Amino acid sequence: NAGVTQTPKFQVLKTGQSMTLQCAQDMNHNSMYWYRQDPGMGLRLIYYSASEGTTDKGEVPNGYNVSRLNKREFSLRLESAAPSQTSVYFCASSASGGNYGYTFGSGTRLTVV
Amino acid sequence: DAKTTQPTSMDCAEGRAANLPCNHSTISGNEYVYWYRQIHSQGPQYIIHGLKNNETNEMASLIITEDRKSSTLILPHATLRDTAVYYCIVRVGGNNAGNMLTFGGGTRLMVKP
């Protein structure tokens, strides 16, 4: 039972490069989320998708774009990476809009130099 | 969502009960109390949630005061694997993914042999 799978697990980018973080869940959840966590801090919501075909901004959306490719997959794209985007990125999913808890992936550790 | 206040850190002896407090004095009637934990370098893990009644599951118990202004998460027999950061989060209930899960600083619980 895989749950939420994120790829890659680690990535180093140069300033200005672009990349896409991938997330897939196999629990038939409707809602998916992208969070970032900076060192010593709590998680902050970047974007979320309440259901297939919809996406909405969270607390810190600037510099990111997302795509809900289908019910299983939700990707996060950095078009022009900046050092301020160095962080650990977590994807999560939930049934019923999160009323009964989120399931998180293991994270992608991104460093922008 | 209402803000929460948690101690920055706590210690607990292995095998003893760990009682983690949380204050949420401005909680609204439609807001639930959620607890998550994050073991080092991993994604957060859902533990338990409640509205006004005490709740228990296989992981923990949640005690909410009658006025709902504070709560306590109880790990009945703490093990070394319970060492983690514990987040108390207040969130509007219901099946709306836009009711965001907002993480604060949490309590760093250290279980000692």
Q: Has residue A43 got a pLDDT over 70?
A: yes
Round to whole Å and give the CA distance between A58 and A82. 19
Name the residue facing B103 among A4, A42, A106 (closest C-beta).
A42
Contact A30 B106 (CB under 8 A): no
Pick the residue from chain A with its C-alpha nearest to B43: A106
Give pLDDT, residue A98.
Answer: 64
* One-letter amino acid of B35: W
Which of A78-92, B12-26, B40-54 has the least mean pLDDT? B40-54
Task: List, for residues B78-107, the tens digit of each pLDDT value.
Answer: 999 999 999 999 988 777 767 788 888 899
**Does the pLDDT at position A48 exceed 90?**
yes
CA–CA distance, B45 with B40 (Å, rounded to integer): 11
Tokens 């948690």 sit at which residue? B6
